[in-house]
Amino acid sequence: MANEQHLKILKKGVEAWNAWRREHPGVRPDLSGATLTQADLSKALPEGAFKDRLRSEHPGIFSSDTDIPTEMNLVGVDFSGANLSELHCHEGNFSGADLSGADLTGAHLMNSAFAGAKLTKALLIKAHLKYVRFSGADLYGADLSEAVLYGADLRRANLRLAKLHEAALTEADFRRADLSFASLTGVYRRNTNFGGAKLEGTCLERENGGRKRALLIGALLLLAAVVYCAIRVWFR
């Protein structure tokens, strides 16, 4: 169960959360089982006293607004079993976090980092994962059906028994990933890199685009046959 104090600090926003984590580097935040449906944890530009505080703590380092880190620091956080459906967290850092069994259905996580994170049996159905970095992450049995993984980095990720049904994998990088017994039926995989990936028992059917083209060609051929028969009858 989530630590109520940690949950309250998180809900105060990016600035307060990052400041608290910097002050308590030895504490592993516990947000297990928390409900954060539709929460917005996207990066925000620090303002006022928070900027001044950062500059006083790190003189000579933060000289301008662009120097101040604003991404959500979620490194190593325990999100196991949490409800994060439709969560908004662009450019968040979830590296090493535990999201096993978490529900991230429809979450917006573009440009976020999940390097080395644990996402076993997590739900990422229809999640927006453009340019997300999953390198070395554990996605064993995770459900990424209809997820958008455009340009995502999944090198060395564990995707055994994962479901990627109808996922968009354009330019995704699966080099040396373990996709054993994963289901990739109906995926769209233009310029997807599977170099060195383990594909034992993987179900990899023709992409949706090819299937739709085949159906269209079939329909056109059927139409041509009908027209031909009609012309023959007309001039008989």
- What burial class does residue 215 get, using C-beta atoms within 10 Å of its C-beta: 0-12 exposed, 13-18 middle, 19+ buried? exposed
What's the domain count of the chain?
A: 2
pLDDT score of 66:
42
Q: Are residues 230 and 157 in the same domain?
A: no
| Angle 159-110-210 from CA coordinates, rounded to 5° | 60
pLDDT score of 62:
47
Q: Are residues 192 and 233 in the same domain?
A: no
Q: Are residues 161 and 226 in the same domain?
A: no
Q: Are residues 187 and 216 in the same domain?
A: no
Q: Are residues 71 and 1 in the same domain?
A: yes
3-state secondary structure of 19: helix
Q: Are residues 179 and 158 in the same domain?
A: yes
Q: Are residues 224 and 151 in the same domain?
A: no
pLDDT score of 35:
95
CATH of the domain at 137: 2.160.20.80
Q: Are residues 200 and 215 in the same domain?
A: no
Q: Give residue 98's domain range.
A: 1-205
For the chain, 236 residues long, the average pLDDT of each consecutive 10-residue run is 94 90 95 94 53 54 49 94 96 96 97 97 98 97 98 98 96 97 94 95 67 60 74 70
φ, ψ of residue 140 in degrees (nearest 5): -55, 120
pLDDT tens-digit profile of 164-221?
A: 999 999 999 999 999 999 999 999 989 999 999 999 999 876 544 455 555 556 677 7
DSSP letters spanning 106-172: T-B-TT-B-TT-B-TT-B-TT-B-TT-B-TT-B-TT-B-TT-B-TT-B-TT-B-TT-B-TT-B-TT-
Q: Are residues 103 and 60 in the same domain?
A: yes
Q: Are residues 123 and 186 in the same domain?
A: yes
Q: Are residues 233 and 200 in the same domain?
A: no
